[in-house]
Amino acid sequence: MLKSKTFLKKTRAGGVMKIVREHYLRDDIGCGASGCAACGGAHEGPVLEPQPLDPASSLCPQPHYLLPDTNVLLHQIDVLEDPAIRNVIVLQTVLQEVRNRSAPVYKRIRDVTNNQEKHFYTFTNEHHRETYVEQEQGENSNDRNDRAIRVAAKWYNEHLKKMSAENQLQVIFITNDRKNKEKAIEEGIPAFTCEEYIKSLTANPELIDRLACLSEEGNEIESGKIIFSEHLPLSKLQQGIKSGTYLQGTFRASRENYLEATVWVHGDTEENKEASIILQGLKNLNRAIHEDIVAVELLPKSQWVAPSSVVLHDEGQNEDDMEKEEERERILKSAVSEKMLKPTGRIVGIIKRNWRPYCGMLSKSDIKESRRHLFTPADKRIPRIRIETRQASTLEGRRIIVAVDGWPRSSRYPNGHFVKNLGEVGDKETETEVLLLEHDVPHQPFSQAVLGFLPKMPWSITEQDMENREDLRHLCVCSVDPPGCTDIDDALHCRELKNGNLEVGVHIADVSHFIRPGNALDQESARRGTTVYLCEKRIDMVPELLSSNLCSLRSNVDRLAFSCIWEMNDNAEILKTRFTKSVINSKASLTYAEAQMRIDSATMNDNITTSLRGLNKLAKILKKRRIEKGALTLSSPEVRFHMDSETHDPIDLQTKELRETNSMVEEFMLLANISVAKKIHEEFSEHALLRKHPAPPPSNYEILVKAAKSKNLEIKTDTAKSLADSLDRADSPIFPYLNTLLRILATRCMMQAVYFCSGMDNDFHHYGLASPIYTHFTSPIRRYADIIVHRLLAVAIGADCTYPELTDKHKLADLCKNLNFRHKMAQYAQRASVAFHTQLFFKSKGIVSEEAYILFVKKNAIVVLIPKYGLEGTVFFEEKDKPKPRLIYDDEVPSLKIEDTVFHIFDKVKVKIMLDSSNLQHQKIRMSLVEPQIPGISVPPDTSNTDMNEPERKKKKLQK
């Protein structure tokens, strides 16, 4: 059956165009109940159970299916995802509305409907002859959709009666809309609110905790006292932003001070650091949460403030004690000079909430039998959240996830609901899950839709694969990687040509052969953006079949590759460059140590060893030439843990050793990346995906220059070359570690390298590598940027065809934005993993004293580096409940005088290291000064401070 709508539309040119919309209605759409004879199995995919064995409901004891409306799906998705909730009918009308209103919820619903065990069925009611409804005159689309949902619910109940009269199967309509519920009951449809239904499931009381708390108006009446000013409606905010009365920006809360935040104003330039507004005081923060998009009103200049140097953490248990807050706000307003004042504002409205589920711990209420408790997020930038739960005693001391539902004007804290219990605090699995969630690292198993695009096993190279591909299996190719590496991206070869020149090849896994543009596998890889390496775990960007098998260039198997081959002379000068898709067969998978051993061996002269020696010789020349151009050799202390084979706990911690072979591989990877960058930019000047490293502003180097000056050394920073040269000269025969410290400090002065699209930027320069152009080509198994670069290069050499998104610079710029975010988050997650494993190490090791060097001096502390462990930490000199020492800080030198002892950057000290477990949520490594000895400050090296791990203290902290 065909329904058609005809309407007239005016075109830009002023003409009139007739548009006909056709809507097909069908009789053969199944109801989803697997035993239904009337539908005769017309349904596909997951179906409803013929006899739902769901938890018994006291409101509806007979077997039933659930049919929720749009708002229930949007706000109660945590409840619907619970394993106890099954046999749910999701209407097409509802799904379309959810899709328009929330992409994350839509994705979660799709995942639930694809889960066979949940028995969620999507019913195409908009195309079913008996459930389609047309919009009536004067009826808005919202009311029409509500009516469509009720019509479908009514049809289901009548249809199921035909299916089996004795079974009395029912469809229950779940809605939180009072009017919709009343109309449904009038029409004879069994209807309940989500809360009524969930509370009726007596066998599953824990589900009540997962209900989103949505009655904001009710809460305001209940507490009566209004704390915050009202948020303006979106229309007024947009008008104000247009007229310049308000400014739009991203709200960034402070980790150090819960009463202060910054709003980064959205301007034309991404990194316009000047365009930031400071906010101080709860009322000016007006219920914004970290990362929300907000509208800000600038305060008059007389009310501008300076960023506070006070550290304030919200630890009060009394939820609505506003007088105390006002007292704390007065502390912030210390007398400062005019110069320090920054533009200051207050939040007038929220343009877009960017809430996510938060990890943290429950701060149990002191009131006995209370169901209302405060939840303290692990991220100090997020306010505490008030939740209602009946299982507080079981959740105490555990990591849990909580979602925010809203923040009424009368409440000191936002309201939320419990989502999930992750496990015990300090447990390795739990803490790893927390750091992945907190850094937004996608880590759920790959879905069936994604895995469906993997090649079928057993896999072998076909004749079709060989088209546009060179056979290089005869070459003596080998790979050199860290020990235990299974995702081998790259392999190398070097051989002498008949004309006396050398042929050098870098062969990279041809991942883009397996991941085709636009399919589910490609979309998931693009979303993940990068593989994340934690201390004991790898979160792959692509499924394991590709990362550790079909794409990994393992030895003695045929593998598809993308090769970059140069002809060079003995002086490592490139005479010819060519790129080709290829097939290789690696002759050896070596570790850096094994490759080094072959190069150094006096007895080994086989083909692999000869190839490695040739590569090493050329790499040294390439490196020398690169450094002469001004490339920087910086340093960062990388840590390696040695794990216990049974418990997997760290038993030793040491800094990583770098060999010549590390440098050899790096040189050829850099050369391949530069060669490919030139090629793709030649071919696609507007949409090459490149990587740049901006030069740091001179102010970034102040600390490095001052630190060197304090040791009578001069560091020049006007160009990368002068910085590199002065770092090379900065040597001290009596202090050999000084040069490494200077390089570590120089690393801290650098900017972040980023991906960008060539058509959207003019500055391509890579400061650290002193290269005018650069990209990433050599690691496509673990970086999505490299897959795009492979696709661009394949089109450039005619080995593959293009597709629209590849040549759309705006789409590419958006992709770069996501990749930069994912790479930054992966880096933070890796650091958090190292920090957690370091804590585990010192937990079992107890208290140790080690030599350290000062990296920074602060007003009341020194930041030190312990070379033995590559560990950095802060030694504080002002402690609670202890007399304050006499501190004199000199910013110019910089130096810190404590009593009569002066500390400069790079001074050698001795510190005591221990694990401070007094705050379960934020356990940390604590450092105290042992030498030089300062009365009242230094501690003896071997006394154990029992205070740190005293269970009583833990308990109190938790109850706070």
pLDDT digits (tens, 9 = 90+) for 924-957: 778 888 887 777 777 777 644 444 443 333 333 3
What pLDDT is stored for residue 165 in this prediction? 59
Those residues whose C-beta lies under 8 Å from the C-beta of residue 300, and which sit 6 or more positions away, are: none
Cα separation of 519 and 398, whole Å? 39
- CATH of region 44-210: 3.40.50.1010
pLDDT for residue 837 is more than 90: no
Phi, psi (rounded to 5 degrees) for 44: -115, 160
Other CB atoms within 10 A of residue 861 CB: 17
What CATH number belongs to 234-309+338-437?
2.40.50.690
Residue 388: pLDDT band (50, 70, 90) is: confident
Instruction: Specify the pLDDT at position 881.
Output: 62
Nearest residue to 866 (alpha-carbon basis) of 898, 844, 838: 838
Minimum mean pLDDT range among 319-333, 523-537, 680-694: 319-333
Torsion from C-alpha of 176, 182, 187, 188, nearest 10 degrees: 80
The stretch 29-41 carries a mean pLDDT of 74
Highest mean pLDDT among 14-23, 342-351, 732-741: 342-351
Which positions ≥6 away from 290 have C-beta within 8 Å? 251, 252, 253, 379, 381, 382
Across the range 5-9, mean pLDDT stands at 67
Please state the φ and ψ torsions of residue 114, each to the nearest 5 degrees: -80, -10
* 267-271, 651-655, 716-720: least confidently modelled range: 267-271
Confidence of residue 720 (pLDDT cuts 50, 70, 90): confident
Residue 408: cis peptide before it, omega within 30 degrees of 0:
no
Tell me, what's the pLDDT at 712? 76
Residue 769 has pLDDT above 70, yes or no: yes
Alpha-carbon gap, residue 854 to 491, rounded angstroms: 41
Is-contact 958 396, C-beta < 8 A?
yes
Looking at residues 33-57, what average pLDDT do you find? 70
Work out the average pLDDT over 269-273.
45
Amino acid 7: pLDDT: 65
Out of 120-124, 130-134, 274-278, 379-383, which region has the weakest mean confidence (pLDDT)?
274-278
Question: What's the pLDDT score for residue 170?
Answer: 85
CB proximity list for 379: less than 8 A, separation 6 or greater: 290, 358, 359, 360, 438
- Confidence class of residue 689 from pLDDT cuts 50, 70 and 90? very high
The yes-or-no verdict on residue 409 having pLDDT over 90 is no
Of residues 788 and 662, the one with the higher pLDDT is 788
Confidence (pLDDT) at 870? 73
Q: What is the mean pLDDT of residues 657-663?
A: 79
Instruction: Report the chain's mean pLDDT, rounded to a whole number.
Output: 82
Instruction: Report d(CA 277, CA 265) in Å as an integer.
Output: 7
pTM value? 0.78
- The pLDDT tens digits of the residues spanning 65-117 come to 899 999 898 888 888 888 888 889 999 999 999 888 888 888 888 888 888 88
Confidence of residue 614 (pLDDT cuts 50, 70, 90): very high
Binned at pLDDT 50, 70 and 90, residue 645 comes out as: low
Q: Is the pLDDT of residue 223 over 70?
A: no
Cβ 373 vs Cβ 265: under 8 Å: no
In the chain, what percentage of residues exceed pLDDT 70?
86
Distance from C-alpha of 49 to C-alpha of 117, rounded to nearest angstrom: 10
- Ranges of H-type helices in 737-783: 738-748
- What does the pLDDT read at residue 321? 58
User: Pairing relation of β-strands 276-280 and 260-265?
Assistant: antiparallel
Average pLDDT over residues 232-252: 89
CA–CA–CA angle 481, 487, 488 (5° rounding): 45
**CATH code at 846-931:** 2.40.50.140
Q: What is the pLDDT of residues 300-329, one digit of tens each?
A: 888 888 776 555 666 655 555 555 666 666
460-499 tens-digit pLDDT: 998 888 888 999 999 999 999 988 888 899 999 999 999 9
